[in-house]
Amino acid sequence: MERGAVQGAAWEPDRLTPRQIVAELDRYIVGQAEAKRAVAIALRNRWRRQQLPPHLRDEVAPKNILMIGPTGVGKTEIARRLARLTGAPFIKVEATKFTEVGYVGRDVESIIRDLLETAIRMVKAERVAAVEDRARAAADDRLLDVLVPPPRRRPQRAGSPWEMLLGSLGAGMPGPAEPARPEEEEDWRRHRQEAAARLRSGQLEDQVVEIEVEDQAPPMVDILGGPGLEEVTLNVQDLLKDWLPRRKRRRRLPVREAREVLAQEEAQKLIDMDQVVAEAIRRTEQAGIVFIDEIDKIAGRERGHGPDVSREGVQRDILPIVEGSTVMTRHGPVRTDHILFIAAGAFHIARPSDLIPELQGRFPIRVELQPLTRDDFKRILTEPDNALLRQYQALLATDGVELEFTPDAVEALADMAARANQQAENIGARRLHTLLERLLEPVAFDAPDALQGKVVVDAAFVRQRLEGVLQDQDLSRYIL
């Protein structure tokens, strides 16, 4: 029986239909309808698989996706937004980071280890949020103990010569103590209730208190070695953390900051990390998404031998993870059979057919993303929820500048972005970031000291700032 059938059965990916998924992606990404449809179907198929009988569920493998297209057209953003829609563990890796076994470089299995760590952080954050109220209440109790310390108990007086002799021999050692007097207890309770009322009303937020917290810094362990030994380092640190006593240190903080520190510490006590890890492993296996970028950089088949790291060797190392294997991590084994892999590359020089046949077969869905046009740039500037012009307007509004872009300014910016991509390297939508930074540089610098109020950006201002640089092709290669 698979792990998902035992633990965390209440969790499953969002039941979004493919049309709903595409509609959500359209809010942030312009165009690329074919790629959006492919990832929407892949995501829905994961939910469909969860509805199958257990004997058939394990037989249905995810249909991995290969995205082909130039930089800056939305490959990474589609995968990232897809993961956010479902709350699935997601990791983006560069294929060029990894190397063939036996050479210096990252071990490909670290992809799955990093994905699991991401899932653990996600599940832990959810569990911490679930116990937030209890953790803050416990933190307030600890703050009250600091603000109004309980009355100290006095040591008992020796009642006989023998007790007096033992008391003198054991001077400085803790001994039996008398309970606090009733009037002292009553006075302490009254002061504590008053302090609790002031704490709830926010009157003590700026008062500095001294609290005792656990030192979270793990012992530093340096191990020199080759690929894969980062896991050994982490295991040694875990062993030392379990064997060595937990160190505590005192910190002086305002009450508002001390409450957050203490609440985090109390939340750690309220959650079961074994359950967190088990749920994280389940989510990684059943809903994890790995985005492998720049896969075209390792495409190609060597025709000879040489000192360089074999690109085909890297592909063969990645293959077992993609086709389904068990990766050992410090939290336990993780199966990769149902993790969705999305690979992407520009493939300017290499072609998808240059990948080894076994790896090609593991990416049955191939979608080609189209280069962005002038009309696409206009839509990117204005339509998405996170449109670039809205971002700059919100940024400058914090300094009291009301930024307004006229329609002809948007037209001019889109036209210049398309021209710049034709004259220099085509970097897609990232060209708009470069143009807008140069366009708004004087406004961003003068605000708020020498500039306040409404600022209108029209086509004339755009041409004044950018036309000269765009016409000088040598200069535009360095600036734009």
DSSP assignment of 398-457 equals TTTEEEEE-HHHHHHHHHHHHHHHHHS---TTHHHHHHHHHHTHHHHHHTTTT--EEEEE
DSSP state of 106: B
Q: Is 77 a known ligand-binding residue? A: yes
Please choose, from the candidates 416, 426, 428, the residue with its C-alpha nearest in 3D space to the C-alpha of residue 469: 416
Q: Is 326 a known ligand-binding residue? A: no
Q: Is 175 a known ligand-binding residue? A: no
CA distance 405 to 382: 10
CA distance 228 to 224: 11
User: Does an H or E element contain 250, and which?
Assistant: strand 248-254
Please choose, from the candidates 145, 148, 149, 124, the residue with its C-alpha nearest in 3D space to the C-alpha of residue 264: 124
CA distance 208 to 189: 22
CB atoms inside a 10 Å sphere around CB 447: 21
Place of tokens 């249905």: 60
Q: Is 378 a known ligand-binding residue? A: no
Q: Is 443 a known ligand-binding residue? A: no
The two three-digit tokens of residue 11, written as one number: 């969790």
Please choose, from the candidates 439, 436, 435, the residue with its C-alpha nearest in 3D space to the C-alpha of residue 419: 435
Crossing angle (nearest 10°) for helices 407-423 and 430-439: 120
Q: Is 400 a known ligand-binding residue? A: no
Q: Is 76 a known ligand-binding residue? A: yes
Measured torsion, CA atoms of residues 77, 78, 84, 85, in degrees rounded to the nearest 10: 150
CA distance 242 to 144: 31
Q: Which residues of 452-473 are buried (b: 16+ CB within 10 A; e: fewer)?
A: eeebebebebbeebbeebbeee
Q: Is 358 a known ligand-binding residue? A: yes
CA distance 476 to 423: 9
Binding residues for ATP: 30, 72-77, 293, 358, 430
Binding residues: 30, 72-77, 293, 358, 430
